[in-house]
Amino acid sequence: MNLGTPDTPRSADSAEAAGRSSSHHPAPMKPWKVRYVALLRASRCNKRLTHSTTSFHASKKYGVDHRVLETLSLENSTNKESSGLSPLVYCTLKRLVSDLVVFATARNETALSELSNSGIKTFALDVTNESRSSGFATKWRKLLESSGQTFLSAAADLDMKRVQDLYNVNVFGVMRMVKAFVPLLVASGDACILQVGSVAGVTPYPFGSTYSSSKAALHTYGNTLRIELSPFNIKVVNLCTGSVKSDIIETKLNPLPGSSLYKSIESIVLGKRKEVSQGGAMSAEDYAKNVVLEALKANPRAWLWEGSKSRFVWMVDTFLPRTAFDNMMKRWYGLDHIRSGLQT
């Protein structure tokens, strides 16, 4: 299985040599094919600030043909300063592909006002509603979009209503949109769905079991989708995202319930969130650039590990025992203090 290890960049000399060796039998030039690239990334904030990008053959309704389009989705965002990674991905795409049209969707239309002023075409859409998602796809026949959120709590303290809400967005929302747009992807003859997941879906994530399990579900869904859609020349890529600098990351947990088994280490737990997510994080600009370059490849990798710590996670997950992270996580979150306290 291709686990998505980062490709080693080719040197200029080797690239030049490869060009000379292939010059005797040049490959026929192919026209720009219809291409869909959906970045289905669940963001890590309770405001459900989410985003995705899609490229496809543009509708003549807007007078553009064979052009890349990005879709940005913000769910219930109220912070005008916090726009996440998608605007950076959009700007990177715009630099690489001059003809770019952007579509943005949100349930909260006020979240789209500034995007609208930037030349982005905005639409109201609730991705948790299957009929509305399908109707949107039928109307525009060109949009693939998803959204996400996070919820941090000890597994023993879970609010099941919030768990269901998170899965409805992070997992079922992705499935609804993929289902709605598969006919368009098949018709394109050359498509790619790039689902932006998280290293949290690979590693144990104390006090984040709901979020991490939704990411693991998305990864597994993507793996299966890749096989099922392969006969139709539709590529599916799982993007395993590590730490990326962002002003929208949820930096703390809500206070633990008074009856929580972990109340004695609450200060440690609350202090770890920002350190784990933002410590040594990759710049959002570099993240966007690397994602876009991969998304625009003719044959992108099945798994792309991007963001700080993502390659470390890949190495541990690939070569070490399944429990390799256990002791590390126990120390980080102070869980060893609870055990020693019980023994005394």
Output the CA–CA distances (angstroms, integers) from residue 291 to 231, 266, 331, in the order listed.
25, 36, 33
- What distance in Å separates the CA atoms of residue 218 and residue 145, rounded to the nearest whole number? 14
Residue 229: Cβ within 10 Å count: 19
- How many H helices and E strands in the chain? 12, 7
Could you give phi then psi for residue 39, rounded to 5 degrees? Answer: -95, 100
Residue 66: Cβ within 10 Å count: 12
Q: Shortest CA distance to 83 belongs to which of 47, 117, 54?
A: 47
CB burial of residue 26 (10 Å; 0-12, 13-18, 19+): exposed
Give 282's DSSP letter.
Answer: B
CA angle 145, 148, 153 (to 5 degrees): 170
- What distance in Å separates the CA atoms of residue 29 and residue 189, rounded to the nearest whole number? 17
**Catalytic one of 215, 245, 272, 289:** 215
**Catalytic one of 211, 221, 287, 333:** 211
Q: Shortest CA distance to 307 belongs to which of 271, 276, 264?
A: 276
Answer for the pair 40, 49: CB distance below 8 angstroms, yes or no: no
> Does the annotation mark 36 as catalytic?
no
Residue 119: Cβ within 10 Å count: 9
| Alpha-helical runs (H) found in 77-171 | 86-96, 113-117, 130-140, 160-170
> Does the annotation mark 221 as catalytic?
no
The DSSP code sequence of 240-279 is EE-BB--SSS--SPPPPPTT-TTGGGHHHHHHHHHHHHHT
Give 84's DSSP letter.
Answer: -
Answer for the pair 33, 190: CB distance below 8 angstroms, yes or no: yes
Active-site annotation, residues: 211, 215
